[in-house]
Amino acid sequence: MKLWHFSCVWAVGVLLTGCGESRDDDIRQWLVSERNQTQPKVQPLPAPKQFVPEPYQNASVVEPFSSQKLTQALMRDSSQAASNGALVAPELKRRREPLEAFSLDAMTLVGSISKAGRPVALVKVDNLLYQVRPGNYLGQNFGKVTKISETEVTLREIVQDAGGEWVERIVSLQLQERQQ
Per-residue pLDDT, 29: 87
Per-residue pLDDT, 145: 94
Q: CATH second-level architecture of 101-174?
A: Roll (2.30)
Domain ranges of the chain: 101-174
Per-residue pLDDT, 41: 84
Per-residue pLDDT, 84: 64
DSSP string for residues in the chain: -HHHHHHHHHHHHHHHHHTS--TTHHHHHHHHHHHHH-----PPPPPPPPP-PPPPS-TTSPPTT-HHHHHHHHHHHHHHHHHHHHHHHHHHHSPPPGGGGS-GGG-EEEEEEEETTEEEEEEEETTEEEEE-TT-EETTTTEEEEEE-SSEEEEEEEEE-TTS-EEEEEEEEEBPPPP-
Instruction: State if pTM tops 0.85.
Output: no
| pLDDT tens digits, one per residue of 1-59 | 777 777 877 777 767 666 656 668 888 888 888 888 888 888 899 999 999 998 888 77
